[in-house]
Homo-oligomer: A and B are copies of this chain.
Amino acid sequence: MQQGSDSSRSPGYDPAPSSSRALIVDRIRSTGTLSRVELTQITGLTAPSVTALVRRLIDDGLVDEAGRGTSTGGKPRTLLQIRATARYVVGVHLSYDSLTYVLVDYAGGVVARWRREGPGEDSDPEEVVERIATQTGELIDRAGIDSTLVLGLGFVCPGPLIRNNGVASAPPMMARWVGFPVHQRLEERLGLPALLENDATAAAAGTRLTTSHDVSVMAALFMSEGIGSGLRLNGNVYQGAHGNAGEVGHICVQIGGPRCWCGSTGCLEAVAGPATVIAKARAAGLDLGSHRRSGVAAFAAIARLALTGDSRAEAIIKDSAAWLALGAQAITNMYDVQLLVLTGPAFAVAGTIYLPILQERILSSAFGRSVTPEVVLDERGHDAAAIGAALMMLRSDHAVSA
């Protein structure tokens, strides 16, 4: 998985902050406010190291002192917090019918979001990179941000990626991207460090935990044009050996089933993903509003029909949900999570139909667990991948330069 030129990765988990400086910034950011003493305890760094690193971060304008903590008997401790306006990152999610941009501040808050028309099927990667460069500039201008404060870009798209390059093999919409050096082109064209990530993995990284209980092991089930998932342990996403973990869309749910673009047969994505839902809806003669509609927009049209009483649309979506439930069951069985979040644009529009069906399957199939995993919808599902990409860039060593 790409993270600029950072190659210091332990296998499996990336991109956890690797420098002590990045670690301190990451811990303050994820907690909100922390004292130096708490930082020492959390990071395992020595007190003098923490003091020196914090001093430099304050001098560099990335961290501020922010009042005092509650007295625990001794001198009240000074709390540190991130200076939200110190730096910004851009997140970009490419899909067939939209390019989603988010601008995230240094504290991880989303300060701007923007959706533009996607490049459609069979997109030309050179043209898309050019478009991203232009539109990123527009996003920054419109948000009124000093562009010199933008430290990098996180870019996510469908399909499995290969390290330090781009798309390794392609879902139908990405055919011309195979072998295209997207990472290098983005960095050249934008003049910024870039991070490449699979959309489902980024969504897992970016999901904000809205549950009240303590969750350290969670997964995201992501649906856009395709289906994927990501596992997150204590904030770090699981990457596997090659950055292609969590490909739940390509587990086989039907032996001898339909052939998938990936080359296998009976894949969950081929049996019940959005493209299949759309094909079934068209075959049933449902009116999707426009001949050109495809991708998430067409799926959204079917979802709207289902939610407003069209029984054929409802049946098609519920059938998809019955199969997606097998994917959810595979995730919870293989990963043993406390929480499963349904995210991505397809769940953002149709999640209320999918959710109870997935919950029921999980409940009936969970065994030997002291707590059945909770299944919830992501409130930010439509922008989850873009936000996740930005947050992953924010955690990198690039994000703590002076």
Contact = CB atoms under 8 A, between A and B. Distances in A.
How many copies the complex holds: the figure is 2
Contacts of A329: 250-252, 264
Contacts of A334: 229, 245-248, 251, 330-331, 334-335
Interface string A352-380: 00000000000011011111000000000
Nearest to A250: B333
A326 B251 contact: yes
A322 interface: yes
Interface stretch (A95-103, A135-143, A236-244): A236-244
A168 interface: yes
| Chain A interface, DSSP helix/strand/loop, else mixed | loop
A268 to B, nearest CB: 10
A314 interface: no
A242 to B, nearest CB: 5
Interface in A162-191: 162-163, 167-169
For chain A, the bracket of interface size reads: 35 or more
Contacts of A163: 370
Contact of A12 (B162, B217, B241, B323): B217
Contacts of A11: 216-217, 233-234
A393 interface: no
Contact of A364 (B161, B263, B369): B263
A132 to B, nearest CB: 22
A162 B370 contact: yes
Interface in A315-343: 322-323, 326, 329-331, 333-338
Contacts of A263: 364-365, 367
